[in-house]
C-alpha cells in the first residue's frame, strides 16, 4: 500500500523529512506547506537540497493541502515559540480527518501527568472528531529516551535507575532562536532563558520520564529538575552566531522522576559549544551520542553514536528526528484514532536495504 503524505514546513527537520519520504517506496509526497512566501512555488526537491526536482511545489495554502485528503501530515513546524499556534495547527489537521506524525509540541509525546489536561484535551478531541491519529516523537524527546531505554531494560533482572543522556556539542546547530533565545547560550549567566524558567524543563522532558516509568509499571512520587551553566573562557564563533566571553557556553540539566526520595528515572542533557568546555562533565562516545544507563542487575551502558554522512553529528540528529516520524507513518495511519505514544505502537523499523 502507498500512503500519501504532506510535509508541513521545510526547516532543519522538514527538509530531511522530504528526503526520507522520497526514499520510501511506500510513501508518496502529495504536497508541501511552507510559512515563508519566498519558498512558495519552489520544488520540494530543491527545498530539501536533493539536487533534483520531485514534481511537487510548495504552497502556503493549508486548506488546499488538506483538501487533497492525504493519509498523513509530517508536521515539523517549530512550536517552542508558538505553542498554542502549533496545537491549533494539529487540531485543524486532525479535524480534517488527516493523521499526523509530529516533532512538536514535545509534551504530547506522553502528556499524562506532565501538563494540565486542558493542554492535551483539544488534540485528543480533534483526533476523535476527525477519526485520525497523532504521534509526537523524534530522537529526543523520542527514540533515544523511549524505545531505546525500554528495550535495554528488557534484559534486566533488577532495575534501580534508568538514566537517558544526550551528550552533544551544538556548535554546528544553525538555529539561532533555539540556541540563543530558548537555551540561553551567548547570554549572561544571570539571565534565565525560556528553557530554564521554573517548570519548563519538566514540561519539555517530563513526558520522557513519565513514559519510561509507565513502561516499567512504576508510579512516581513527582518530578524535579536542576541545571548548571558555565561561561565561555573567551569569545568564539559557532554556526548560529558569536558567543562572547563570559556568557553561557555550556549547559547541563536533569529532569528526575522521584520515588521514595530517590531519582529512579533521569533525563540528562550535557550540551557544549566547544569540546574543551566542562571537561569534568560526561563525555560523548564519538563526536556525540545518546547514552542509556540502566543501574541494577546487571548494569548496562548503551551509547548511540551520531554522525551524518557529511561528518556532522548535528546533521545526524536532525535526520534521526525526521526519520523517526517518516518511518512511523504507516503504523500511525493504521492505528486506531487518538493521541498515540511509543507504548501504543509496534516496533517501527526503516524500510529496505540498498
Q: Which of 114-123, 182-191, 298-307, 323-332 shows the lowest per-residue confidence on average (mean pLDDT)?
A: 114-123
pLDDT exceeds cutoff 70 at 353: no
Average pLDDT over residues 49-76: 97
What's residue 354's pLDDT?
A: 62
Q: Name the architecture of domain 3-136+317-340.
A: 3-Layer(aba) Sandwich (3.40)
Average pLDDT over residues 45-74: 97
Peptide bond into 338 cis (omega under 30): no
**What value does the mean pLDDT of the chain take?**
96
Q: What is the 3-state secondary structure (H, E, C) of the chain?
A: CCEEEEEECCCCCHHHHHHHHHHCCCEEEEEEECCCHHHCCCEHHHHCCCCCCCCCEEECCHHHHHCCCCCEEEECCCCCCCHHHHHHHHHHHHHCCCEEEECCCHHHHCCCCCCCHHHHHHHHHHHHHHCCEEEECCECCEHHHCHHHHHHHCCCCEEEEEEEEEEEECCCCCCHHHHHHHCCCCCCCCCCCHHHCCCHHHHHHHHHHHHHHHHHCCCCCEEEEEEEEEECCCCEEECCEEECCCCEEEEEEEEEEEECCEEEEEEEEEEECCCCCCCCCCCCCCCCEEEEEEEEECCEEEEEECCCCCCCHHHHHHHHHHHHHHHHHHHHHHCCCEEECCCCCCCCCCCCCC
Q: Structure pTM?
A: 0.95
pLDDT tier, 297 (very low <50, low <70, confident <90, very high otherwise): very high
pLDDT exceeds cutoff 90 at 205: yes
pLDDT exceeds cutoff 90 at 117: no
The C-alpha angle with vertex 215 and arms to 209 and 219, in degrees rounded to 5, equals 65
pLDDT tier, 75 (very low <50, low <70, confident <90, very high otherwise): very high
pLDDT digits (tens, 9 = 90+) for 207-222: 999 999 999 999 999 9
DSSP lists the bridge partners of residue 272 as 169, 250
CA dihedral 95, 90, 17, 309 (to 10 degrees): -150
pLDDT exceeds cutoff 90 at 118: no
Q: Give residue limits of the domains in the chain.
A: 3-136+317-340, 147-305
What's residue 113's pLDDT?
A: 87
Lookup result for grid cell 526520595 = 261
Q: Name the architecture of domain 147-305.
A: 2-Layer Sandwich (3.30)
Average pLDDT over residues 30-42: 97
Average pLDDT over residues 154-163: 98
Amino acid at each position: 500500500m502507498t500512503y500519501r503524505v504532506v510535509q508541513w514546513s521545510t526547516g532543519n527537520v522538514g527538509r530531511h523529512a522530504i528526503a526520507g519520504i522520497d526514499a520510501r517506496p511506500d510513501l508518496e509526497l502529495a504536497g508541501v506547506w511552507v510559512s515563508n512566501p519566498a519558498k512558495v512555488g519552489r520544488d520540494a526537491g530543491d527545498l530539501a537540497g536533493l539536487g533534483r526536482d520531485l514534481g511537487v511545489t510548495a504552497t502556503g495554502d493549508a486548506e488546499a493541502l488538506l483538501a487533497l485528503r492525504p493519509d498523513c501530515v509530517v508536521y515539523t513546524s517549530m512550536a517552542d515559540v508558538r505553542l498554542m499556534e502549533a496545537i491549533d495547527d494539529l487540531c485543524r489537521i486532525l479535524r480534517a480527518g488527516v493523521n499526523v506524525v509530529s516533532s512538536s509540541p514535545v509534551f504530547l509525546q506522553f502528556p499524562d501527568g506532565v501538563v494540565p489536561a486542558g493542554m492535551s484535551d483539544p488534540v485528543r478531541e480533534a483526533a476523535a472528531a476527525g477519526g485520525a491519529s497523532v504521534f509526537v516523537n523524534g530522537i529526543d524527546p523520542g527514540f533515544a529516551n523511549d524505545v531505546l531505554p525500554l528495550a535495554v531494560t528488557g534484559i534486566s533482572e533488577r532495575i534501580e535507575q534508568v538514566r537517558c543522556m544526550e551528550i552533544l556539542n551544538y556548535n554546528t546547530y544553525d538555529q539561532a532562536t533555539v540556541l540563543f533565545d530558548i537555551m540561553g547560550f551567548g547570554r549572561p549567566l544571570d539571565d534565565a532563558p525560556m528553557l530554564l524558567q521554573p517548570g519548563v524543563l519538566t514540561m519539555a522532558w517530563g513526558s520522557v520520564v513519565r513514559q519510561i516509568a509507565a513502561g516499567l509499571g512504576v508510579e512516581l512520587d513527582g518530578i524535579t529538575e536542576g541545571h548548571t551553566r558555565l561561561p565561555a573562557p573567551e569569545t568564539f564563533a559557532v554556526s548560529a552566531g558569536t558567543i562572547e566571553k563570559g556568557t553561557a557556553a555550556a549547559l547541563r540539566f536533569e529532569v528526575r522522576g522521584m520515588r521514595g526520595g530517590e531519582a529512579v528515572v533521569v533525563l540528562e542533557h550535557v550540551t557544549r559549544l566547544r569540546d574543551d568546555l566542562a571537561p569534568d562533565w560526561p563525555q560523548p562516545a564519538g563526536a556525540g551520542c545518546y547514552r542509556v544507563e540502566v543501574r541494577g542487575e546487571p548494569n548496562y551502558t548503551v551509547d548511540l553514536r551520531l554522525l551524518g554522512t557529511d561528518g556532522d553529528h548535528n546533521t545526524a540528529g536532525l535526520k534521526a528526528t525526521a526519520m523517526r516520524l517518516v518511518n512511523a507513518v504507516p503504523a500511525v495511519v493504521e492505528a486506531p484514532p487518538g493521541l498515540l505514544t511509543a507504548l501504543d505502537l509496534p516496533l517501527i523499523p526503516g524500510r529496505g536495504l540498498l
